[in-house]
Amino acid sequence: MTALMHLAARSLWNRRFTAGLALLSITISVALLIGVEKVRTEARSSFTQTVAGTDLIVGARSGSIQLLLYSVFRIGDATANVSWESYQRITSHPMVAWAIPLSLGDSHRGYRVVGTTNSYFERLRYGGNRSLELAAGTWFEDLFEATLGAEVARSLGYDIGDEITLAHGTGSHSFVDHDDMPFTISGILAPTGTPVDQSIHVSLEAIEAIHLGWQSGIPIPGQEVSPEDARSQELTPRSITAFLLGLESRAAVFQIQRAINAYPDEALSAILPGVALQQLWNLVGIAENALLVVAAFVVLAGLAGMVTMLLASLSERRREMAILRSVGARPVHVFGLLTAESTLLGITGAVAGFALVYGAMALGAPLAQASFGIHLTPSAPSVRELTLLGMVIAGAALAGAVPAWRAYRLSLADGLSIRT
């Protein structure tokens, strides 16, 4: 059959303009299909890597997806807080290895401010047990110091020693500012490809300090506090938004989770990040599948274009078929020639589409990282991608059966004579 493949390749090359157009539509459709699949898996793995090191996430009682989104991904807001007493009681449990408190609710030019402690820097893990690193400076020590995520520093052009003021609320247009208490940038973290890059980190006490003299989210007139006054005040937080827990043993997860969910003094929720992510995927799965279906239809359209091209070529190729018959080709060879052509187009289109996606990923990785915080790691094609490719190639071979069958019938009917 190598003879047929050779013939098919030469024949396609001879019609390289029309064949090229058919090939282009297959290539683009395959790139779309693989691209959708790639974005889906990359987004998932990026999310999974972000929460990989955490055993439990604890917040005020709410849906687990909501808790996951606002605590880890800084999407949306908490409905209620966790009292400092509850935080201390729970984290003093002997099975708790570490805890990272999170106090959210303020922002700076659209980036979220996270009030936390040193344990954030020391304990947070991402991307397969990697810990945070500083690209420059130090983790905050002073009350009015802040440590920036890589993306915040990059896009706002901040450097060590610059001063920033925080805004109350998380919208990008906050009208109430904490401009009486500026923060000095003490350090900038190395990029992680997680929401850490988009965060501004300060101490829990700093969050407390900037809200001194505030009530129900608004400053009380005449009660403004200067930074110097704040330093002398009691700054133990009264509440935090949520906290992440690491346990001594993974086996204790369900026990601790049950205990927190049944916590008597306060309505709390403890969630397993992996389980919550799974729920999230189930939710967005419908949209993802819709995208995949659209991409699959685009592939079908590409294959239909190829079939049209091959069918249109047949009338001018009847003599060619008669010649092939005269030199000993069987009608199945004629059938095989046409399917070989469609298969070749399918293989070339699939490989080219695939290369397009991977090439674009290699080139666009920095952009995806910067704009979406999605960390595109150059990875070997997944089994699912290869299956999709196989299906496209099989589809092309199968679609080729339509013109092939017609050519087969024609060559049987024509014999050695060509009647047009």
Partner 1 sequence: MSSDSPQSIIALAGIRYRWRPNAPVVLDVEQLDIAPGERLFIRGPSGSGKTTLLGIMGGVLTPGSGHVHLAGSDLATLSAAARDRLRANEIGFVFQMFNLIPYLSVLDNVLLPCRFSRKRSERAAADREPAAEARRLLARLGLSEAALLTRDVAELSMGQQQRVAVARALIGRPGIVIADEPTSALDVDSRDEFLELLQEECTASGAALLFVSHDVSLAHHFDRTLDMRMLNRALDGEADSS
Residues that bind ligand ADP (CB under 6 A): 413-415, 417, 419
Nearer to partner 1, 29 or 339 (CB): 339
Q: Please state the closest distance from residue 408 (CB atom) to ligand ADP, in A.
A: 15
Nearer to partner 1, 10 or 250 (CB): 10
Q: Please state the closest distance from residue 319 (CB atom) to ligand ADP, in A.
A: 12
- Where does this chain touch partner 1 (CB under 8 A) — which range of 77-85, 329-337, 366-374, 400-408? 329-337
Binding status of residue 171 toward partner 1 by CB under 8 A:
no
| Residue 228 near residue 180, CB atoms below 8 Å | no
Binding status of residue 14 toward partner 1 by CB under 8 A:
yes
- Report phi then psi at 118, rounded to 5: -60, -25
When CB distances to ligand ADP are compared, the closest residue is 417
Contacts of 275 (CB under 8 A, 6+ apart): 64
Nearer to partner 1, 216 or 417 (CB): 417
In angstroms, the Cα distances linking 363 to 28, 141, 373 are 18, 39, 16
Nearer to ligand ADP, 108 or 317 (CB): 317
Q: Please state the closest distance from residue 7 (CB atom) to partner 1, in A.
A: 8
Nearer to ligand ADP, 293 or 418 (CB): 418
| Residue 227 near residue 77, CB atoms below 8 Å | no
Q: Which of residues 331-350 bind partner 1 (CB under 8 A)?
A: 331, 333
Q: Please state the closest distance from residue 412 (CB atom) to ligand ADP, in A.
A: 10
Q: Please state the closest distance from residue 307 (CB atom) to ligand ADP, in A.
A: 25
| Three-state SS at 27 | helix
Q: Residue type for 94, please? A: P
Nearer to partner 1, 3 or 220 (CB): 3
Residue 11 touches which of ligand ADP, partner 1, none (Cβ within 5-8 Å per kind): partner 1
Q: Please state the closest distance from residue 418 (CB atom) to ligand ADP, in A.
A: 8
Residue 328 touches which of ligand ADP, partner 1, none (Cβ within 5-8 Å per kind): partner 1
Contacts of 3 (CB under 8 A, 6+ apart): none
| Residue 38 near residue 375, CB atoms below 8 Å | no
Binding status of residue 226 toward partner 1 by CB under 8 A:
no
Q: Which residue has the tokens 């947070």?
A: 124
Residue 40 touches which of partner 1, ligand ADP, none (Cβ within 5-8 Å per kind): none
Q: Which of 216, 207, 208 is nearest to 235 (CA)?
A: 208
196-221: string of b/e by CB count within 10 Å (b at 16+)?
A: bbbbbbbbbbbbbbbbbbbeeeebee
Applying CB under 8 A, what is the total number of residues that bind partner 1?
23
Binding status of residue 1 toward partner 1 by CB under 8 A:
no
d(CA 3, CA 390): 23
Which ranges constitute the DSSP H helices of 266-317?
A: 273-314
Residue 75 touches which of partner 1, ligand ADP, none (Cβ within 5-8 Å per kind): none
Binding status of residue 11 toward partner 1 by CB under 8 A:
yes
Q: C-alpha dihedral over 125, 127, 132, 135, to 10 degrees?
A: -170
Which of the 8 DSSP states describes residue 381?
Answer: P
> Tokens for 216?
């129900």
Return residues touching partner 1 (CB under 8 A): 3, 7, 10-11, 13-15, 319-320, 322-331, 333, 415-417
